[in-house]
Amino acid sequence: MHNPFDWQSLLDGIYSKFPEASPHPVIGISANYDDASSKLADGYYKSVLRAGGTPVIIPPLADADSILNTLDRIDGLLLSGGADFNPLLCGEEPCRLLGGINSERDVPELLLTRLAYNRQLPILGICRGIQTLAMALGGRVRQDISDTATVKHSQNARREEPTHSVTVDVGSQLFAATGGHERLFVNSFHHQAVGDAGSRFRVTARSSDGIIEAIESSEHKHILGVQWHPECLSDAASLGIFRWLVEKASLYRSAAALHDRIVTLDSHCDTPMFFHRGVDFGHRDSQILVDLHKMHDGRQDATIMVCYLPQPKNGETFSEKVEFSVGSPKEYADLIFDKIEAIAAAHSSHLAIARTPADLAANKSAGRKSIMLGIENGLAIEDSLDNLRHFAQRGIVYMTLCHNGDNDICDSARGSSTHGGVSDYGRKVIAEMNRLGVMVDLSHAAESSFYDALRLSSQPIVCSHSNCRALCDHPRNLTDDQMRVLAKSGGVMQITLYNGFLVESGQATIDDVMRHFRHAIDIMGIDHVGIGTDFDGDGGIPGLADSSELPNLTMRLLADGFSSDDIRKIWGGNFLRVMTQVQANRHEQ
């Protein structure tokens, strides 16, 4: 039998092993506060340990640097139980039955929760913790449930004694975590509860009197809250809740480590469309889906920001199609690129323009995010190869030949077959793009233009934001035949997050994104598929709604069995291979 006083032998046992980083995910647990002491019931950290995690306790400090540094070092968050929230925090006056509040915890935990949510950390909320989730993320807490409760929700029995049951939604994360039980027997120590889960959550368990007993993310995120105290119960279902958190935290840890090792590139965003509205790229700006804070939270290294130029219809002028006064498409594109360069200069410690794959790698090594430049719609060059050369000198890496409507270069997927494919002038444009080392992008192009360009280009082509027509019958998507010949020529297709290109009706989910990835990989192979979000061009779905949420894609790819090398290729490796080849074959006059 081990001598409990022989701590030296335990120390010797530790040193007998090779020192290496623990493979166990680190779970931060929010501490309670009482009588000038930060404290925590042992059930929380012992349950995390039994589930395979490494528990650490987070004191209630409303200090931004402390919270951010903590989040950098944990893989999952457990919000513990405790006293009521001050209703003034959500604009309510206290009802006469409000219990004791804990102002020392309230603001720190709300900040901690919202910042963890922004970083896609897995979160488990217990008792007060489920209410913290609702308070921090758009829901509402009922100060007291005695007016509707018929079940006793504040038991006199021991904490390890179940006293009532809850009904669990089949198919929910809670259902899976607890072993597939539709009915759970739980303990109960509360008189506050979630009154409205809000749009970010769905209710997944209720007691027999209708009180909300569990909520989870409606955005396919790893967030779960329960009203009871599973850390006090000894059954397998209760331990399963902690194992769920540790499993998701392990997945997050793997995704974060992978993002640290590779360059993550989004091949298409339209954020410059919002520059004239006074956005602040250096802040977390609600007007845009891509900014420095969101890129940091999402561990995104780089994005290709395009200057999008709407195609005028017959009888329209270009100036009528844009929201601010400008003389010509070329002047408009130059203004956009001037603004991008000004943003990069203003945030040069954290952001830089990249023009080559080598620039991306150098920026990542220096701790900077990267913006690459692109043009969406060859209208920008105004029928002039000299203008194409001008933009090549500015550093564009690709030009999308057309947009929604035929132009002088080629026919669009939403056009009128003006040229029957690529025009005679378009042939010269493609040849010059090959010579200048600018990638030819055929998203938005008609099938006739696609096949013409593929035949005319001496270099592989890209489709910077397109999906599979076999899964969503939209003319902007690629047929299986197009995908096959694109791969055969060495090109790449970047799956996009635009709802209407993912599903023909309804709201797309990450499941639909994965269907398009799998289909494209089945047809083309893993070396020819990537990601081009179309953020700020109406791209984005729940759970992949902006740059901060991109780790959710990596976690899903890992969970579905994709290797680290597969994910590296999807996250820009394939696209950068083509960019490298195209730039290496440029021919300067």
Q: What is the DSSP string of 211-244?
A: -EEEEEESSS-SEEEESS-GGG--SHHHHHHHHH
CA distances from 302 to 295, 362, 502 (A): 8, 12, 23
What pLDDT is stored for residue 108 in this prediction?
92
279 — phi, psi (to 5°)? Answer: -70, 155
What pLDDT is stored for residue 87 in this prediction?
85
Q: Minimal CA–CA distance to 546: which of 274, 377, 218, 296?
A: 296
CA distances from 70 to 63, 73, 137, 140, 392 (A): 11, 5, 20, 27, 44
What pLDDT is stored for residue 18 in this prediction?
60
What pLDDT is stored for residue 589 in this prediction?
45
What pLDDT is stored for residue 22 in this prediction?
63
How many Å from the N-terminal Cα to the C-terminal Cα in the chain? 83
Q: What are 139's strand-pairing partners?
A: none
Where b means 16+ CB within 10 Å and e means fewer, 350-363 reads bbbbbbbbebbeeb
101 — phi, psi (to 5°)? Answer: -100, 165
Instruction: Give the count of beta carbons closer than 10 Å to the beta carbon of residue 31.
Output: 22
What pLDDT is stored for residue 384 in this prediction?
96
pTM of the prediction? 0.94
| Spans of the chain below 70 pLDDT | 1-2, 4-5, 10, 14, 17-22, 324-325, 588-589
What pLDDT is stored for residue 21 in this prediction?
58
The pair of three-digit structure tokens given for residue 552, joined into one six-digit string: 């959710």
The pair of three-digit structure tokens given for residue 464, joined into one six-digit string: 């910077």
DSSP 154: B
What pLDDT is stored for residue 89 in this prediction?
87
What pLDDT is stored for residue 9 in this prediction?
78
What pLDDT is stored for residue 17 in this prediction?
66
